[in-house]
Structure 1
Amino acid sequence: MYQYIDEEYVKVDFGQADLKEGELKGCTFHQCSFRGAALDEVWTTGCRFIECDFGGATLNASVHARSAFTNCRFAGANLFVSKFEDCKMTGSDFSGASLDGITIQGGDWSYTNLRHANLVKQQLRGIRFVEADLSECNLQKADLREADLSGVRLAKAALNGADLRGAKLDRFDFRSIDLTGVRIDLEQAVGVARAYGAKVD
């Protein structure tokens, strides 16, 4: 097992490298490539990954606490049973990534691309998803209470059994989604009625 503390890397190519079972603390990676790298069971704490490419990388069972992955690309990456605690993921693209068994606790996932992600029964309470693309996601029975879903895109997402109570729904297009079986609060119900043209006094 290796350990890196307070290291900084700029435009370094870690592609195809075997980086499994390491520990990274307070490190910064700017525009680095991790394409095809093995990052299974890696632990990161307080690290910053800025505009990095994780395309095709494996991050199975990796754990990330208070780290930032901003404007990173995870195309085709495998994040099976990975865990993100209070991480900042703003602007990152998860197109084609495998997120099965992922755990997300708090944090900011605004402006992320999570299209087609499987987030069934996920505990997503209180997470920021401002302007995120969750189109065609499977969010059945997901707990989204108190989440910030302002401007989020949910076209063709599966939401049956999801709980949206207390979630912030500014700029939310209720007409673009199927609300069958979705739990909402009274204020949100008024928003739904108004979206369909009702006048609520």
Structure 2
Amino acid sequence: MYQYTNQTFHTHNFDQANLQDGELNNCTFEKCTFRGTSMEEMTSTGCQFIDCDFTGALLNASLHKGSAFTNCKFMGTNLFVSKFEQCKMMGSDFSNAYMDGITLLGGDWSYTNLRHTNLSRQDLRGIKLTEADLFGCNLEKSDIRGADLSHVQMGQCKLKGADLRDAKLDGIDLKSLDLQGVKLDVAQAVLLARSFGAKVG
């Protein structure tokens, strides 16, 4: 097991390295590469990863608390049963990432690419997803209360049984969504009715 604290790495190559079961505390990684790196069961706390490449990395069962992964690449990354608590993920790309069993507790996931991700039965309360791409995501039976979904791409999302009460839905074409079994609050129901041309009030 290794531990890095208060260290800074710039354009460092960690490709194919064995970084399993370690701890990163308050470290900064800028434009570093972790392609194909073994990072299972590692923990990051208060770290910053800026423009880093995790393509094909193994991050399964990893835990991240208050860390930032901004404009990072997670293409084909294994994130099975990983956990992100109050992390900032703005602009990161999760194309073809394996995310079954992932836990997202709050945080800022704005401008991320999460297309076709299985987020069913997730606790997504209060999470910020502004302008994220959730095209084709499975959000069935997820608790999305109070989340910021402003201008999110939600085409072909599966929403049956989801709870959207108090979520911000600005800029979303509600008419295009299959809202069968979805819980809405009164204000959202009014928005939906108006989107179909109804005069409410």
By the TM > 0.5 criterion, same fold?
yes
Structure 2 CA distance for aligned equivalents of residues 33 and 196 of structure 1: 48
For the residue of structure 2 that corresponds to 1:187, the secondary structure is helix
Shift of 1:66: 0.3
1:169-184 alignment to 2 at 5 Å?
169-184=169-184
Which position in structure 2 is the counterpart of 1:153? 153
Q: Give the letter for the 1:46 counterpart.
A: G
* One-letter identity of the residue aligned with 1:75: M
Amino acid at match of 2:93: D
Amino acid at match of 2:86: D
| Residue identity in the other structure for 1:73 | K
**3-state secondary structure, aligned to 1:49:** strand
Task: Tell me what 2:54 maps to.
Answer: 54
Structure 2 partner of 1:108: 108
Higher mean C-alpha deviation, range 175-184 or range 73-82: 175-184
Opposite residue 124 of structure 1, the aligned amino acid is L
Paired with 2:113 and 2:197, the residues of 1 have a C-alpha distance of 30
- Cα separation, 2, equivalents of 1:150 and 1:141: 20
Question: In structure 2, what is the equivalent of residue 36 of structure 1?
Answer: 36
**Residues in 2 aligned to 1:15 and 1:177: alpha-carbon distance in whole angstroms:** 41
1:1-201 paired onto structure 2 within 5 Å: 1-201=1-201
How many Å separate the matches in 1 of 2:75 and 2:58? 11
Amino acid at match of 1:139: L
- SS in structure 2 of the partner of residue 157 of structure 1: coil
Could you tell me how far 1:176 is from its partner in structure 2?
2.2
RMSD after superposition? 0.7
* Equivalent AA in structure 2 for residue 76 of structure 1: G
Q: Select between 16-25 and 173-182 the one with higher mean Cα deviation.
A: 173-182
d(CA) in 1 for partners of 2:41 and 2:24?
11
Deviation at 1:100, TM superposition (A): 0.5
Q: Which amino acid aligns with 2:82?
A: S
Secondary structure at the residue paired with 2:170?
A: coil
Distance 1:180 1:135 in 2: 18
Aligned residues: 201
Q: Percent same amino acid at aligned positions?
A: 61
Tell me the SS of whatever aligns to 2:194.
helix
Give the match's secondary structure for 1:190.
helix
Question: Following TM superposition, where does structure 1 have runs of at least 4 consecutive aligned residues deviating by more than 6 angstroms?
Answer: none
Output the TM-score relative to the length of structure 1.
0.99
Alpha-carbon distance, 1:177 to partner: 1.2
Matching residue's letter, 2:177:
I
The amino acid of 1:153's aligned partner reads Q
Structure 2 residue runs without a partner (length 5+): none
